[in-house]
Amino acid sequence: MSVLEKVLSHLDSDRENALDRLFDFLRIESVSTDPAYAAQCVKAADWLVEDLRSIGFTVSRRDTPGHPMVVAHSGGDGPHLLFYGHYDVQPVDPLELWDRPPFDPALEETDTGTVIRGRGASDDKGQLMTFIEACRAYKAVTGALPANITILSEGEEESGSPSLIPFLRENADELRADYALVCDTGMFDADTPAITTMLRGMVSEDFTIHAADKDLHSGLYGGAAINPARVLVKALAGLHDDNGRITLPGFYDGVSEVPAALKAQWDKMGFDGEAFLKGVDLSVPAGEQGYSVLEQIWARPTCDINGIWGGYTGAGFKTVLPAEASAKVSFRLVGNQDHTAIQAAFRDYMQSCLPADCTISYRNKDGAGATNMPIDAPHFEQARQALSDEWPREAVYVGMGCSIPIVGHFQQILGMDSVLIGFGLEDDQIHSPNEKYNLSSFQKGARSWARILNAIT
């Protein structure tokens, strides 16, 4: 029996205890956004400290101006890995929509199998414990871990992580590793594990076009006075051509087609774009022509109006010529698109759309480029193989339409890439009532991490 087989066998035989530990952890009401739960956040941190210490980690609770961090080091040989997960959870409102108390976790039988029901079951306590259980089993079987592992757990992920950046900066030398493992993502579907390797970046602009010095009566001034809402809609309408492509000069610089091998993998996954859109009552992909829905949401840049307002928006009618009109517009970026250049191109374009008498003002917002993991690095393929060994279907590299801030922080502050692996499913109802985590996600997730730790070198 190989070491890995022994570790997996230990995980299987220790299942009940692992579940008890997770339930203990889930009972702690570590809602980070509500100050009333501050003591519960400390309690969750302390719980983690004790549990990690029991496995043999050198661990400490590190207080911050907000909720504490937990940092644990295994020491030892092998690649140096930083594992990240968070112990805080979302608020539970509206409580009346829960079918059982959110902090009284239980197993439930459902049409799609047994689930662990409770706040944090999936996001992120359950996911975090998959990794810790794998470590515990390894330590129990071999007396050591197969890598030099540091675990960082924060308690403010669901409330904007205000302490995270200072903490990473102050403790950069302690936390820097070869790369990070982040367990806050999902599977492609219940049978297909995934490594998220592409995250879109973003430029967002929040601005107002100004014209007359006050709202005007459209009867008295209509026809002679410039209407900033008309300027705004004309400018925004010009951002896309008839094929759904974005018209800003240089916008597609740095955008590459999805490599053939990856595209072939995606095509094999059987993603149903029609069903994806049908889920929100739509039927026709609205993005760039010539790309699949999956490409449109993972691998192609976008421009969207997130908000628009101006003039009279109440009930009834007021024949006003607005003095100003505003919008919030964001671009999702991919590949090597330069967010600074795109912001500049957008502002140049808007300026070119302004007639005399109109000015524009911006409310500032930072941008960020896309993240593209170096999937040629050997540990990516090692992890993907390890995942494939555990699950019914082969693991896939997937994209994600939005950004995950921690990945950017690790890159910028610690100079370190991340491997994003998680076992959540789309129907986990994270952030919503009746959150759940499939029992198979928890148990096979822990086995997956054991396989990954065994595989990466």
Burial tier of 223 (Cβ tally within 10 Å: 0-12, 13-18, 19+): exposed
Q: Out of 65, 94, 143, 219, which residue is the one contacting its own copies (CB under 8 A)?
A: 219
CB neighbours of 454 closer than 8 A, spacing ≥ 6?
A: 3, 4, 7, 146, 386
Residue 349 interacts with its own copies (CB under 8 A): yes or no: no
Residue 100 interacts with its own copies (CB under 8 A): yes or no: no
Query: Which of these segments, 51-59, 149-157, 207-215, 373-381, binds its own copies (CB under 8 A)?
Result: 207-215
Query: What are phi and psi for residue 357, nearest 5 degrees?
Result: 80, -10
Question: Smaller CB distance to its own copies: residue 155 or 287?
Answer: 287
Q: Out of 198, 229, 395, 439, which residue is the one contacting its own copies (CB under 8 A)?
A: 229
Q: Out of 302, 343, 441, 443, which residue is the one contacting its own copies (CB under 8 A)?
A: 302
Residue 182 interacts with its own copies (CB under 8 A): yes or no: no
- Separation of alpha carbons 5 and 344, rounded Å: 56
Output the smallest distance, CB 164 to its own copies, in A: 19
Residue 218 interacts with its own copies (CB under 8 A): yes or no: yes
- Pairing mode, strands 418-421 and 179-182: parallel
Residue 344 interacts with its own copies (CB under 8 A): yes or no: no
Grouping H, G, I as helix, E, B as strand and the rest as coil, residue 41 is helix
Residue 104 interacts with its own copies (CB under 8 A): yes or no: no
Residue 321 interacts with its own copies (CB under 8 A): yes or no: yes
Interaction residues for its own copies, span 372-411 (CB under 8 A): 400-403
- Separation of alpha carbons 416 and 100, rounded Å: 41
Residue 246 interacts with its own copies (CB under 8 A): yes or no: no
Degrees (nearest 5) of the Cα angle 51, 55, 57? 90
Q: Which residue has the tokens 């502002």?
A: 347
Query: Which of these segments, 163-171, 258-266, 314-322, 405-413, binds its own copies (CB under 8 A)?
Result: 314-322
Residue 438 interacts with its own copies (CB under 8 A): yes or no: no
Interaction residues for its own copies, span 282-301 (CB under 8 A): 282-288, 293, 296-297, 300-301
Write out the two tokens for 353.
Answer: 């759309």
CB neighbours of 162 closer than 8 A, spacing ≥ 6?
A: 65, 66, 156
Write out the two tokens for 365.
Answer: 């917002």
Residue 309 interacts with its own copies (CB under 8 A): yes or no: yes
Q: Which residue has the tokens 């009930």?
A: 315
Interaction residues for its own copies, span 11-70 (CB under 8 A): none
